[in-house]
Chain A
Amino acid sequence: MQFFRYSKSIYGGQEQLVGASWDLLPWFVAAGAAFIALHALAMALAKARARKTQRQDG
């Protein structure tokens, strides 16, 4: 996986930075999906814990 995109001038010479690599896009999407999954899981567990405590108290 590349982090950046480079191109070579038609006249040759050094490669030049032309932007961020679009290969990173799926990783940004995966980061969002991972956050959502972890948050949803944490909230579901917290709710289950709260229900359990409520049952024990009541």
Chain B
Amino acid sequence: MDVSPTRKSQSADTGERVARHHLLDRLYHWLMAVATLVLMASAFLPILGVKFQWLEMHWMSGVLLAVLIAIHGVRAVLWQDWRAMMIGVDDGRELCRSFARALGFGGASPALPGKYDAAQKFYHLGMAALVLAVIASGLLMLLKIDTPFWRRDPYWFSGATWGIIYVVHGLAAMAMVTMLMIHVYFALRPDEWYLTRSMLRGWITRKEYSEHHDAARWKA
């Protein structure tokens, strides 16, 4: 991570900015958000009674999401510090400490995290599992529709197996609604706003960096 001096001070501290998300990662995040919202709208609005031609919109945004996730996976492993998102024993302990303090039980304060805190890592793991389930089942479901690239062939699986594939797709998609609500809630919380701004503009201030992160665990 690079640190670049700014012309205008964004906070009461030195005005230095710490880069948190590169432009490519921010583009990935917002494209993924658009694809996810289109997928959810085209999936759930017809169920709620809003009738429109949803299928083309749904499979195309699904394929876009699959491509974006594949790019993210390759980029995370080859060019980014994927270990920053890995869950360790410490993260479980820190999460328990945060819960205990939030519920008024006191105890030790959670230690400052690296780039991502324990809750963010667990959230990422849960969302990754759901997205992979929805994409894997969705890609199989593409076998049942005609597209410009292939002809439908619904005989790959038995009726019972298709039923299981549809159950996985439906349950994972509905669980993603819960996760998305939680994500938007945290993004809008005033105490988390500096992270939302970093996903828009790419940086946090030096003051935010030293207040919220352990410099030994995230060297900026």
Give A contacts to B, CB under 8 Å. Answer: 4, 16-20, 22, 24-25, 28-29, 31-33, 35-36, 39-40, 42-43, 45-46, 49
- Given contacts A25-B177, A29-B178, A45-B104, could you give 4 more A-B pairs where the C-beta distance is less than 8 Å? A19-B163, A20-B167, A29-B177, A29-B181
User: What's the count of A-B pairs with C-beta under 8 Å?
Assistant: 66
Mark interface residues in B169-188 (1 if CB within 8 Å of A CB, else 0): 11100110111111001000
Docked pose: A24 CA to B162 CA in angstroms: 20
Does B101 sit within 8 A of A, measured CB to CB?
Answer: yes
Pick the contact of B160: A17, A32, A45, A49 (CB < 8 A).
A17
Does B103 sit within 8 A of A, measured CB to CB?
Answer: yes
Closest to B176 in A: A28
Which B residues touch A42, using CB under 8 A?
A: 102-103
Evaluate contact between B166 and A20: CB separation under 8 angstroms: yes
Does B78 sit within 8 A of A, measured CB to CB?
Answer: no
Pick the contact of B181: A32, A40, A49 (CB < 8 A).
A32
Docked pose: A4 CA to B168 CA in angstroms: 11
Tell me if A's interface is mostly helix, strand, loop or mixed: helix
Q: 30 A-B pairs, CB-CB below 8 angstroms?
A: A4-B167, A16-B159, A16-B163, A17-B160, A17-B163, A17-B167, A18-B163, A19-B166, A19-B170, A20-B166, A20-B170, A20-B171, A25-B44, A25-B47, A25-B174, A25-B177, A28-B175, A28-B177, A29-B181, A31-B178, A32-B179, A32-B180, A35-B185, A36-B181, A36-B185, A42-B103, A45-B104, A46-B101, A46-B102, A46-B104
Closest to A35 in B: B182
Docked pose: A56 CA to B177 CA in angstroms: 43
Pick the contact of A22: B47, B160, B175, B189 (CB < 8 A).
B47
Q: A15: shortest Cβ distance to chain B, in Å?
A: 10
Docked pose: A52 CA to B81 CA in angstroms: 41
Q: B36: shortest Cβ distance to chain A, in Å?
A: 15
Evaluate contact between B178 and A28: CB separation under 8 angstroms: yes
